[in-house]
Amino acid sequence: MRLTVRDLDQHYGGSQALRKVSFEVAQGECLAVLGRNGAGKSTLLKCLAGVLPVTRGAIEFDGVDMARAPSHRRSRAGFAYVPQGREIFAELTVRENLLAAARPHGEASDETFAEVYGLFPVLREMAGRRGGSLSGGQQQQLALARALVTKPSLLVLDEPTEGVQPSIVQLIETVLQSLKGRLSIVLVEQYLDFATAVADRFVVLSRGQVVDRGERAEMSRERLSKFMSI
């Protein structure tokens, strides 16, 4: 899916959190959204997901403006969102979490389950365990798997490496690299090594505005450090 965000404004009451944010993500590409705490990254992703209303601007999925469409319509159009903090169902088992995520998109096939269990083998082992009993890294894998069973064409991830041990960060990196090309990805990430390993292009937000953008080859620590807390 091609994502075009144009002149997006968002306000929390009287305070403006996003100001004329514009960018594009081509089919199969991964865009990293970088910036300091409070820059507006999570707000931007919530606007893309339709969980926060936008004040002005367009969010086009393959040319169709979804900026005012409810979340379920965006989801049916191929959009999947993994929020910060994961938001899995703690009381449901791993398998039930996956079934619940897949249901609005039609029953998930055995093939779909085999695919996500292939990407995240620990979830197969833990299929009967309650989501709430998993470690942070396992919950992050479950959150990603929940998004993938919906067969998205645009995957939006808010800090997938947060609170996750290095071996799982490496696994998530490998998974995202394998998904790129097939689906488009928007990634909010504080961990620069991960972002540079996965993203093709980046935008930097500061106080709700895009203050820099470029290609992966231009994502040098020197260039980004003036906008980030590193």
Ligand X SMILES: Nc1ncnc2c1ncn2[C@@H]1O[C@H](COP(=O)(O)OP(=O)(O)OP(=O)(O)O)[C@@H](O)[C@H]1O
- Rounded distance between C-alpha atoms, residue 99 and residue 213, angstroms: 38
Which residue, 39 or 164, has its beta carbon nearer to ligand X?
39
- State the pairing for strand pair 184-188/154-158: parallel
**Site membership for ligand X, residue 119 (CB under 6 A):** no
Cα 140 from Cα 13, distance rounded (Å): 32
∠193-197-201 over CA atoms, to 5°?
105
Quick note: the x/- pattern for ligand X over 122-141, rule CB under 6 A, is --------------------
Q: Which stretch binds ligand X (CB under 6 A): 1-9, 40-48, 194-202, 213-221?
A: 40-48
Q: Which of 37, 63, 128, 167 binds ligand X (CB under 6 A)?
A: 37
Q: How many CB atoms lie within 10 A of CB 39?
A: 23
Site residue total, ligand X (CB under 6 A): 11
- Considering the complex, state which of residue 2 and residue 36 has its C-beta at the smaller distance from ligand X: 36
Question: Cβ 37 to ligand X, closest distance in Å?
Answer: 4
Q: How far apart are CA 128 and CA 48, in angstroms?
A: 33
- Name the minimum Å distance from CB 51 to ligand X: 11
Residues between 152 and 211 that touch ligand X (CB under 6 A): none
The residue from 1, 19, 21, 43 that contacts ligand X (CB under 6 A) is 43
Q: How long is the chain?
A: 230
53 touches ligand X by CB under 6 A: no
Q: Helix, strand or coil for residue 181?
A: coil
Q: Output the six-digit token pair for 163.
A: 């609170």
Q: Is 86 in the site for ligand X (CB under 6 A)?
A: no
Q: What is the DSSP string of 20-34?
A: EEEEEE-TT-EEEEE
**Could you give the CA distance from residue 225 to residue 192 in angstroms, rounded to a whole number?**
10
Q: Which listed residue (1, 3, 5, 17) binds ligand X by CB under 6 A?
A: 17
| Residue selected from 42, 97, 141, 196 as contacting ligand X according to rule CB under 6 A | 42
Residues that bind ligand X (CB under 6 A): 12, 15, 17, 35, 37-43
